Structure 1
Amino acid sequence: MSDKANIQAKIQTLESQLKQWAQEYYENDAPSVEDARYDQTYAELQALAQEHPELIADDSITKQVGGARLKNDLPKVNHPVPMLSLGDVFSIDELQEWMTTAQKQVTTPLTYNAELKIDGLAISLIYEAGKLIQASTRGDGTIGEDVTANVLQIEEIPQTLTEPISVEVRGEVYMNKANFVALNQQREHDGLATFANPRNAAAGSLRQLDPAVTKARKLSAFLYQAVNPIDQLGVQTQSDLLSRFTQLGLPTNHENAVVQTQSEALDYINQADHQRDALTYGIDGIVFKINDLALQAEYGNTIKVPRWAIAYKFAPEEAETVVHDITWTVGRTGAVTPTAIMDPVQLAGTTVSRASLHNPDYLQAKDIRIGDTVLLHKAGDIIPEISEVVLGKRPEASEPYQIPTLCPACEQELVHVDGEVVLRCINPLCPAQIQESITHFASRQAMNIDGLGPKIVTQLLEHNLVHEVSDLYRLSLDDLEGLDKFGAVSANNLVLAIANSKQNSVERLLFGLGIRNVGAKVAKLISAQFGSLPAIAQASADEIAAIPGIGLVIGHSIAQYFATAQAQDLLNDFENLGVNMSYLSGTPVQTDTALSGKKVVITGKLTAMTRPEMTEWLESQGATVTNSVSKKTDILIAGEDAGSKLTKAQELGIEIWSEDQLRANMEQ
């Protein structure tokens, strides 16, 4: 084979691999490789494309922007001004070369606006006379998806600007670290596949066909670009554009800085890299933009990227360690999840010795084996994840890891349910599932049975005292006093706590049943609407979905659950045992307090009460408690060690209360 034929074959191999990875990343929101590996492979193809342009096809991935248009039911949107990707550099030398090349085109010294590169999903917003009329994703750069209904669920994005102007603005929708962790914990709890990183979680949430799901995912946004900003917004520089956005009520990242020299750019990079772990959101680099907007227009774009901006990508922080075991955990819904147990290593400021392997397909695709030396990184700066196996250090006697066929808890056969990547135990009597179900049922947001934690649930199961959640209400003092470290006082306290839980309002019971997609807030909305658990059990999916903020996904989950004979038997059992199944409205919401109609955010460590207790009291006073600070926020309640939310509130001039100030209002 000739050298040219070898190069052609190499290009085709790289194209095929990159297109597969791009589909997984952009369309499926389920990447199989890390960003650094994709970037490295893309750079290899790009170098070949520059050396041999005659061998590059018109549909080459090097000529495409973003991902392909999704084949879903979301309406399509044309972008008259294309939404471009950014060019990437991976070293200081490459950044300096780009800055030097940019400077050669003008005689006066250039300045650059340096901005944190948010790990999110590109979004375009069109406002007419100050009203948001359309939101769309980037798609392939020229055609994206209409996600207006979903963007309206993102609290930080205003539906009305502070001025009645018409403008198209662009930026990123992202999911902050805390919400990403909470979402994955809930998905794991519900037996669903977890998201690989916050970017894919944000993309999957924004592309939902059910806006209620998007709302529950608690997305955030930063905006940083406008189409025709000089004429429409009257600004001359990128830094002024961000200030103008703030005036209009649009969310912006305040960590930007104007730099001129390469030394100043390096200082900004080092500072951002040092503070990276402390940020509440994920970043994967720094974007440098020529600050002068007129010069941006003069420099123009290539077919794929702007010439006036570049993204400096952080090198992934990795640590080398050895896998000593792979354990399998059975969740409440029967999902069986593998976890790698490794030698402890320091990574991004924490000690890591465990990493989720997500599902059998992931484990086999990575070909991770016991005894392997692996490279570990934190996906989205949060989740410990194995990047790759160091094959050169693989033991000679190594053998491929065998995926279990039997449940580790009950030894029943494991199955792949159609359409799912997780391995699942479908035995309804599996002790691991029962334990997780009972523990969830007793948890604080469910039936709130004080003193009934996982260790006690384990003892109850081992002594055959309970087999399902309703059996808790059959426990006696004699049953409990026979357990390890249980005396008369502790037994009496637990029996009393179980008895008291019978009087809970039904939303706690509904949440405690552990129905997929039904969180505590959803359970309260549905319970308030239908009034009782029997009424909910008899409702159709469409009737449930008709409740504002619910939708068909949740409607189907509830209807399917109550259609089973097991669920109907459980309802009868609860009724016979005297468990309340009606909605109790509790303290009526007051409408004439100092907090009525106020939007309140809570941050920091609380000492006087728990966050749920504070939220409940604020809502009883007519306030709306939200998770993120924006110009719409009226009050921030700051506990100890308050971080970025406090800083943002101070910058926006939002009223800030201490816990003492809140208590003073409670006592009035």
Structure 2
Amino acid sequence: MIKSEASKKIQKLRKDLERHNYLYYIEAKPEISDRDYDHLMRELLDLEQAFPDLVTPDSPSRRVGGAPLEKFRTVEHQVPMLSLDNTYSREELEEFATRVQKGLGRGSFSYFVEEKIDGVSIALVYEDGLLKLGATRGDGRYGDDITENIKTLGSIPLRIPIPGSSFQGPVPELLEVRGEAYISKDQFAKINQEKEKNSEEFFANPRNACAGSLKLLDPKLVAARRLDALIHGLARYEGENPPHSQSEAMAFLKDLGFKVIPDAKKCRDMHGVFGRVDAIEKKRAKLQYEIDGVVVKVDQFEDQKTLGMTSKSPRWMIAYKYPAEQVETVLEDIKIQVGRTGVLTPVAILKPVQLSGTTVSRASLHNQNEIERLDARIGDHVLIEKSGEIIPQVISVNLEKREGNLPKFVFPQKCPDCGEAVGKRGDVVVIGLFPNVKSPVAICCLNPLCPAQLKGALKHFAGREAMDIENLGVSIIDQLVEKGMVKDLADLYYLKITDVEALERMGEKSANNLMEGIEQSKKRPLPN
């Protein structure tokens, strides 16, 4: 195929692929199967490989991920990404309305109410329709340039308007939008299922999984996570016919092909706002993404400008957060876990119950003092709460349902893992593998050679936030410790390929991959 023919074919493939992306991610009305889509993408990738000078930054081929990065570039936000004022009180929401009335000097104005997505804040900058920058919030004034990772999100346009969208008219010369990247509940479950197969530590929740994914330096790994995004704000606009309100802006962005928050509406007064707050809460558990409340904004941009902002947050916007979801179940057992610092943590084993759309069978009891404060006993009916924490919490005991004289829980006097003595440490140095860690009101294993501490230390050491040792999962760590092959962190670097191959379910290829992961960790830079 000659170059001119290839150019025409590439342009058609790009247009078709972006149109199918729009139908799949934005309209939820796919016209072709995943297999047919993959065939089109493969055809485009082959042509771009044969004619590399025809590759462009907005090609759909960028969605499969480019070459790994060495590090992220720091960028300055031209419009700061400020935080939101939060409230859990309807009275404080009324007070917000009163402040707005005083600030505007009138009582008649409109609000815009939308779901508060529990994700990761992102900023997207387009120049002449082309995506030029995708950035994290960072500290609000400076964030990381994650453009290559952002390009892997199928719902984010690489060029606007997207083929198939309803937009008519000139594209703004400069457009900056704000939104939330997230991982759907179904995709989150699939990611953790994959981690379980690989004996890797689970992600705590979809937000953590999304944040961790966007920090990856290899866009191909990000693409595999299948992140999504919803757009909720317009930060900068340079061009003809700019929107004059939040409601106009969202309609405009939707026409361009952006995936905006679906159940967002304009309200004439606080009565309408409270109606939306109640309606969204009722359907919260059925959504495919996590939300933790609603965001209420003054609709007109001119009014927003009049109200201004404090050093931390806009005066024209507030987040109303829903109360933490609670449910009652039975405390069937209390297990003691030994952490990497030696701290013994009690975990409630519960009769499985639905909470926030997931099945919960474990919850935190924090420490011995908390068990005593709650007077929690095995067999009790307990109230558990989930409010964005890593693990649900036991918050109270229903004493009226206590049957008979249930025995009090006795905290162990010996470590359940190594059998050595334990001791109380309250805001003092904890001895063990991490000798400088302080732990208030904690019972700790006093054995610095405790296998459980070593396993926890190795898991932390191998994690992405530390040495990032690929292929060193939980089951491998357990075997290395239990077989006496690793007695401290340094022993990892003395392992031989023959040692690793002797482990259960460890073939030659897997052993080589692990040894390569350990070798690569030697090159990790030290934190600043």
Which amino acid counterpart does residue 393 of structure 2 have in structure 1?
S
**Among candidates 386, 389, 400, match of residue 411 of structure 2:** 400
CA distance in 1 between counterparts of 2:361 and 2:407 reads 24
Q: How does 1:110-129 map to 2 (within 5 A)?
A: 110-129=109-128
- The gaps in structure 1 that reach 5 residues or longer are 1-71, 330-336, 431-466, 470-512, 516-533, 541-555, 564-668
Deviations 1:387-444, CA, capped at 9 Å, x for gaps: 245499798843336764279xxxx9654164524976633899xxxxxxxxxxxxxx
CA distance in 1 between counterparts of 2:261 and 2:368 reads 37
Corresponding residue for residue 581 of structure 1: none
Cα distance change of structure 1 residues 78 and 92 upon mapping to structure 2, 3 Å threshold: same
Report the alpha carbon displacement of residue 95 of structure 1 after superposing the two structures with TM: 0.7
Secondary structure (helix, strand or coil) at the match of 1:318 reads strand
Q: Which has the higher contact order (CA 8 A, sep 6+)?
A: 2
Cα distance change of structure 1 residues 282 and 250 upon mapping to structure 2, 3 Å threshold: same
Q: Are positions 1:281 and 2:289 aligned together?
A: yes
Report the alpha carbon displacement of residue 193 of structure 1 after superposing the two structures with TM: 2.4
Deviations 1:611-630, CA, capped at 9 Å, x for gaps: xxxxxxxxxxxxxxxxxxxx
Q: Are positions 1:80 and 2:78 aligned together?
A: yes
Report the alpha carbon displacement of residue 195 of structure 1 after superposing the two structures with TM: 2.1
Deviations 1:300-332, CA, capped at 9 Å, x for gaps: 110000011111110011124443225699xxx
**Among candidates 306, 317, 323, match of residue 331 of structure 2:** 323
User: Conserved in 2, the CA contact under 8 Å of 1:91 and 1:312?
Assistant: yes
Which amino acid counterpart does residue 398 of structure 1 have in structure 2?
F
Q: Percent identity?
A: 32
Which amino acid counterpart does residue 305 of structure 1 have in structure 2?
S
Deviations 1:492-529, CA, capped at 9 Å, x for gaps: xxxxxxxxxxxxxxxxxxxxx8x9xxxxxxxxxxxxxx
User: Conserved in 2, the CA contact under 8 Å of 1:377 and 1:387?
Assistant: yes
CA distance in 2 between counterparts of 1:88 and 1:216 reads 34
Deviations 1:475-508, CA, capped at 9 Å, x for gaps: xxxxxxxxxxxxxxxxxxxxxxxxxxxxxxxxxx
User: Conserved in 2, the CA contact under 8 Å of 1:245 and 1:252?
Assistant: yes
Secondary structure (helix, strand or coil) at the match of 2:294 reads strand
Secondary structure (helix, strand or coil) at the match of 1:214 reads helix
Q: Are positions 1:263 and 2:271 aligned together?
A: yes
**Among candidates 445, 451, 455, match of residue 416 of structure 1:** 455
Cα distance change of structure 1 residues 235 and 560 upon mapping to structure 2, 3 Å threshold: closer
Report the alpha carbon displacement of residue 230 of structure 1 after superposing the two structures with TM: 8.0
Secondary structure (helix, strand or coil) at the match of 1:267 reads helix
Cα distance change of structure 1 residues 242 and 322 upon mapping to structure 2, 3 Å threshold: same
Secondary structure (helix, strand or coil) at the match of 2:126 reads strand
Cα distance change of structure 1 residues 345 and 384 upon mapping to structure 2, 3 Å threshold: farther
Which amino acid counterpart does residue 332 of structure 2 have in structure 1?
H
Which amino acid counterpart does residue 93 of structure 1 have in structure 2?
E
Secondary structure (helix, strand or coil) at the match of 2:134 reads strand
Q: Are positions 1:191 and 2:230 aligned together?
A: no
Report the alpha carbon displacement of residue 370 of structure 1 after superposing the two structures with TM: 6.3
CA distance in 1 between counterparts of 2:184 and 2:368 reads 28
Cα distance change of structure 1 residues 417 and 343 upon mapping to structure 2, 3 Å threshold: closer
Secondary structure (helix, strand or coil) at the match of 1:115 reads strand
Deviations 1:602-660, CA, capped at 9 Å, x for gaps: xxxxxxxxxxxxxxxxxxxxxxxxxxxxxxxxxxxxxxxxxxxxxxxxxxxxxxxxxxx
Secondary structure (helix, strand or coil) at the match of 1:160 reads coil
Secondary structure (helix, strand or coil) at the match of 2:325 reads coil
Which amino acid counterpart does residue 297 of structure 1 have in structure 2?
K
Corresponding residue for residue 90 of structure 1: 88
**Among candidates 351, 355, 360, match of residue 362 of structure 2:** 355
Report the alpha carbon displacement of residue 227 of structure 1 after superposing the two structures with TM: 2.0
CA distance in 1 between counterparts of 2:73 and 2:356 reads 41
Report the alpha carbon displacement of residue 101 of structure 1 after superposing the two structures with TM: 1.9
User: Conserved in 2, the CA contact under 8 Å of 1:324 and 1:341?
Assistant: yes
**Among candidates 393, 405, 413, match of residue 387 of structure 1:** 393
Cα distance change of structure 1 residues 145 and 251 upon mapping to structure 2, 3 Å threshold: same
CA distance in 2 between counterparts of 1:121 and 1:365 reads 35
Secondary structure (helix, strand or coil) at the match of 2:189 reads helix
Cα distance change of structure 1 residues 135 and 324 upon mapping to structure 2, 3 Å threshold: same
Q: Are positions 1:426 and 2:460 aligned together?
A: no
Corresponding residue for residue 98 of structure 2: 100
Corresponding residue for residue 170 of structure 1: 178
CA distance in 2 between counterparts of 1:138 and 1:185 reads 29
Q: Are positions 1:214 and 2:222 aligned together?
A: yes
Which amino acid counterpart does residue 386 of structure 1 have in structure 2?
P
Which amino acid counterpart does residue 150 of structure 1 have in structure 2?
N
Secondary structure (helix, strand or coil) at the match of 2:99 reads helix
Structural RMSD (CA):
4.1
CA distance in 2 between counterparts of 1:429 and 1:88 reads 46
Corresponding residue for residue 251 of structure 1: 259
Deviations 1:52-97, CA, capped at 9 Å, x for gaps: xxxxxxxxxxxxxxxxxxxx94221111221101111111111111
Report the alpha carbon displacement of residue 146 of structure 1 after superposing the two structures with TM: 1.3
Secondary structure (helix, strand or coil) at the match of 2:154 reads coil
CA distance in 1 between counterparts of 2:158 and 2:86 reads 33
Cα distance change of structure 1 residues 241 and 365 upon mapping to structure 2, 3 Å threshold: farther
Deviations 1:274-317, CA, capped at 9 Å, x for gaps: 01111100110111111101111121110000011111110011
CA distance in 2 between counterparts of 1:75 and 1:365 reads 45
Corresponding residue for residue 150 of structure 1: 149
Q: How does 1:553-592 map to 2 (within 5 A)?
A: 559=516
User: Conserved in 2, the CA contact under 8 Å of 1:537 and 1:562?
Assistant: no
Secondary structure (helix, strand or coil) at the match of 2:479 reads coil
CA distance in 2 between counterparts of 1:416 and 1:367 reads 26
CA distance in 1 between counterparts of 2:518 and 2:455 reads 20
TM-score normalized with structure 1 length: 0.47
Q: Are positions 1:299 and 2:312 aligned together?
A: no
CA distance in 1 between counterparts of 2:368 and 2:237 reads 46
CA distance in 1 between counterparts of 2:357 and 2:137 reads 34
CA distance in 2 between counterparts of 1:227 and 1:429 reads 53
User: Conserved in 2, the CA contact under 8 Å of 1:117 and 1:285?
Assistant: yes
Report the alpha carbon displacement of residue 186 of structure 1 after superposing the two structures with TM: 2.2
Report the alpha carbon displacement of residue 141 of structure 1 after superposing the two structures with TM: 0.9
CA distance in 1 between counterparts of 2:319 and 2:128 reads 33
Q: Tell me the number of residue pairs that the alignment of Structure 1 and Structure 2 aligns.
A: 360
Deviations 1:505-559, CA, capped at 9 Å, x for gaps: xxxxxxxx8x9xxxxxxxxxxxxxxxxxx9x789x9xxxxxxxxxxxxxxx5595
User: Conserved in 1, the CA contact under 8 Å of 2:354 and 2:360?
Assistant: no
Corresponding residue for residue 350 of structure 2: 342
CA distance in 2 between counterparts of 1:129 and 1:365 reads 61
User: Conserved in 1, the CA contact under 8 Å of 2:377 and 2:407?
Assistant: no
User: Conserved in 2, the CA contact under 8 Å of 1:321 and 1:373?
Assistant: yes
Report the alpha carbon displacement of residue 166 of structure 1 after superposing the two structures with TM: 1.8
TM-score normalized with structure 2 length: 0.59
CA distance in 2 between counterparts of 1:143 and 1:129 reads 24
Which amino acid counterpart does residue 399 of structure 1 have in structure 2?
V
User: Conserved in 2, the CA contact under 8 Å of 1:133 and 1:148?
Assistant: yes
- The gaps in structure 2 that reach 5 residues or longer are 1-69, 162-170, 338-344, 420-449, 461-472, 483-502, 521-528
Deviations 1:139-186, CA, capped at 9 Å, x for gaps: 111111111121111111111111463211111111111111222222
User: Conserved in 1, the CA contact under 8 Å of 2:385 and 2:395?
Assistant: no
> Normalized per residue, which structure has more helix?
1
CA distance in 2 between counterparts of 1:343 and 1:157 reads 41
Range with greater deviation from structure 2 (368-377 or 293-302):
368-377
CA distance in 1 between counterparts of 2:481 and 2:294 reads 52
Cα distance change of structure 1 residues 558 and 233 upon mapping to structure 2, 3 Å threshold: farther
CA distance in 2 between counterparts of 1:403 and 1:73 reads 42
CA distance in 2 between counterparts of 1:203 and 1:129 reads 29
